[in-house]
Structure 1
């Protein structure tokens, strides 16, 4: 059970709060909930052969766009819609092993034993975070690692997903990936829906900025006045992901030791300068590639 990092009954108040803090383009959240509920419903009424739904939703996009938080919130929304559900988060890295054959056995156990044990008790939603670690593209595997074991682990994951969709139709898998090109294409082909979560647009950035300033203003009331310059902040934050944007708004207070000690002294030009500097920093994902 080491691969299970969270095992909770849904709904969870904290998940709902987190869901509301993620700002994405209009319609994304509703589409994700609708797709998830549709997948669960169709699998209750049709055989897999007639309606090939795997119960797999994939959230893809660069780091910092809130995919994991969005996935947890999505699980919570589905849990509320069905009445109650069990939430399991798997650590894909915890399933890896340098011992030949061990990864395959661990992955098989998760899909053929662990998840089914929860599923027999009721609806079960499983988060496969960083799924590229669990189901790496078999055609791109490096010979430096353990390609045979990794290949078998991917095979086991695919077989496990196929087993769940047929025998445990009250399961829903939500997978996230920062690097969709590293995910085995056979897994992506099994997804009932793939949602690309990109950097927030201008309206979403506005919501993130106002939300962050509102939080700071609870402690330092004069921060509230910074909201009147939101248009300039939106312009300066073009291309930033939600995580970096929230960090940059807060980091503006580090413009000097004086403002760091008292955020009431923070001025609009401090925020704009910090946002421009943060937006011009090299993209982390590009460097990683």
Structure 2
């Protein structure tokens, strides 16, 4: 069981550290009242209130035409007016009296007097008894309100800038300097109930642990090495697929040596401001030297350690400056500080050569997926706190999980435990591990109701895969057949080898292609036509066939050369001539055509067994390994 990751440090420091001495306790500062802020707040509240009153104080005012105003004036409905230029404001009498005091209510209005109007307005007002006032009926906005409205956009921008500056830690109008703000780090120490990760928590990669044991011994006993004039590697690069335990190994080295462990992700050093990542790298190495001996762990170093100059459009200045700072800091090691840099990546081939030269990361350790014995040991670690039923055989689980990494096996054990909880069990049994493996490899079951004819076609499709796997010599044994929809598939045939394979013969690869084409061949043999259900099968077939012709030298026409790159060498076809690529495609088509013809021939010759498997799937939906071979009437291992 691994130690939980410690909480993150301050946002300015992307690394985390363990085992360093805790900082002295800081007394909380008493709250400080800012009178300037209070005054500014009061002024803003007053201006806003004044603005709201001026804007909404005349909400009941209406705008009328001058013709309507003349009619209301002649009818005696105008009670009071105020004129300023050609603008007339006033109050109209309402026909409905107020229920509270019996007096008539008034409605504010505004109108514009045309410049060409020649009516004797003053005489009419006197005759109708209209009060002509010197105060405007509708209160106009004050000078402060007008000023606030004019300055509102600018004030909004200032407030927005202050919020951004505060978020970035600048503390005011100090520009973007807050992005690179630094201060004394606050190392995260382990609590009394926590335990360090050690090599006892790592299994399945004993050869890697043996190489890292030297690093542990150097950190524990540096004087022994200094007396002999020996220097430990300044950097150790852990390269391997995702989930193989690279981060766990780095933590185990620090745990075994009992030294502080500074952990950082390379992507956290890259910011939008050039120079920030380099500054953080300098501070990280400085703090590690202060508490040496220590370990600095940089995860996913390929994020900032890619080869420079490979992009014709130019590089990323911030990434390259951060990489240059790492190179400079590692050059500054004398070999006696007791600081070891461990980095992890699954793309070692894209790293800059300057990063891998002797004196920097001068030791590369390949972390590969575990073998069967390693998988059993990993399962034993991840089930230490899982109550296992007597029928659970971890050796058997390890045998049927080839290619799985430590992370995959940890997920498998967890899924089995979750299934046991869901089923109300007190122990995790073999059935839970089997169902968990199906869920991990094949996907979760789907509640899909298929028509009877489509279920039978799916049964023949999966039976074709399974039967060809049983018939062809050297093919992987069939573990389970099901027509229960899982993930995106309507049915699944699971085949896994008895032992781990590290190299593949041409015969084995052809058996893989024939087995993958078994579903489509079964549909062709039984129904005379094929459906779209073989999409994923054809993707697998195409990948294998093109690899045989263009990467592994299994085609006489193409020759013994690599014509297409692998997944980590860039886009397809960058290093080969068009004629060579045409030859690769032609050979791939030939290999697939020959395998498809062989699949159809074998299924036609063994049609009764194909029908028997399909009928059994229609009745039971799922057949395990023993039942599948029994229905097909074949011994375990087929003809081989």
Q: State the Cα deviation string for residues 132-172 of structure 1 (Å, max 9, x = none).
A: 2242322445859x623322221111111111x22863211
Mean Cα displacement is larger for which, 230-239 or 258-267?
258-267
The 8 Å contact of residues 301 and 345 in structure 2, kept in 1 or not, is answered as yes
Matched, 1:136 2:306: yes
Shift of 1:45: 5.4
Q: Give the greater-gyration-radius structure (CA).
A: 2
Matched, 1:193 2:363: yes
Q: What's the CA shift for 1:76?
A: 1.9
CA displacement at 1:250 relative to structure 2 = 2.3
Q: Is the 8 A contact 2:355 2:361 kept in 1?
A: yes
Match of 1:225 among 386, 390, 399: 390
CA positional deviation for 1:66: 1.4
Aligned to 2:205: 25
| Alpha carbons 1:65, 1:199 under 8 Å: kept | yes
Match runs of 1:55-204 below 5 Å: 55-79=234-258, 85-107=259-281, 109-110=282-283, 114-140=284-310, 143=313, 147-163=316-332, 165-166=333-334, 169-189=337-357, 190-204=360-374
> Which is richer in helix?
1
1:8 paired to 2:22: no
SS of match in other structure, 1:97 = coil
Which residue of structure 1 aligns with residue 38 of structure 2?
A: none
Q: For 1:198 and 1:41, how far apart are their aligned partners in 2?
A: 33
CA displacement at 1:52 relative to structure 2: 7.5
Query: Larger relative CO (CA 8 A, sep 6+): 1 or 2?
Result: 1
Q: Distance in 2 between matches of 1:211 and 1:280?
A: 25
Match of 2:6 in 1: none
Instruction: Report the 3-state secondary structure (helix = DSSP H, G, I; strand = E; otherwise coil) of the residue aligned with 2:385.
Output: helix
Matching residue of 2:440:
278
Q: 1:240 aligns with which of 404, 409, 415?
A: 404
Give the deviation of 1:241 after TM superposition: 0.6
1:156 to 1:122, Cα distance in 2 relative to 1, 3 A: closer
**1:115 & 1:52 partners in 2: Cα distance?**
19
Residues matched between the structures, number? 262
**Which residue of structure 2 lines up, in the alignment, with residue 264 of structure 1?**
426
Q: CA deviation at 1:95?
A: 1.3
CA distance in 2, matches of 1:37, 1:213: 30
Shift in alpha-carbon separation, 1:253–1:106, aligned structure 2, 3 A: closer
Tell whether the 8 Å contact from 1:36 to 1:172 is kept in structure 2 after alignment. no
Distance change >3 Å, CA 207–CA 175, structure 1 → 2 = same
- Given the superposition, is the C-alpha separation of residues 266 and 33 from structure 1 closer, same or farther in structure 2, using an over 3 Å criterion? closer
Runs of 5+ unmatched residues, structure 1: 80-84, 218-222
Aligned 1:23-62 pairs, distance under 5 A: 23-38=203-218, 44=226, 54-62=233-241
* Distance 1:202-1:120 versus aligned 2 partners, 3 A rule: same
Q: How well do the aligned residues superpose, as a CA RMSD in angstroms?
A: 3.5
Is 1:216–2:386 an aligned residue pair? yes
Deviation of 1:74 after TM superposition, in Å, equals 0.5
* Residue segments in structure 2 that go unaligned for 5+ positions in a row: 1-11, 22-188, 444-535, 537-566, 571-640
The 1:263–1:236 alpha-carbon spacing in structure 2 relative to 1, beyond 3 Å, is: farther
Q: Which moved more, 1:119-128 or 1:5-14?
A: 5-14
Relative to structure 1, the CA distance from residue 182 to residue 9 in structure 2 (aligned partners, 3 Å threshold; closer, same or farther) is same
Residue deviations 1:29-64 (CA, integer Å, cap 9, x gap): 2321214545956874588xxx77552111111111
Q: Distance in 2 between matches of 1:60 and 1:167?
A: 23
Give the TM-score of the pair, scaled to structure 2. 0.36
**What TM-score, normalized by structure 1, do the two folds share?**
0.75
Question: Displacement, 1:265?
Answer: 6.5
- Out of 260-269 and 61-70, give the one that drifted further: 260-269
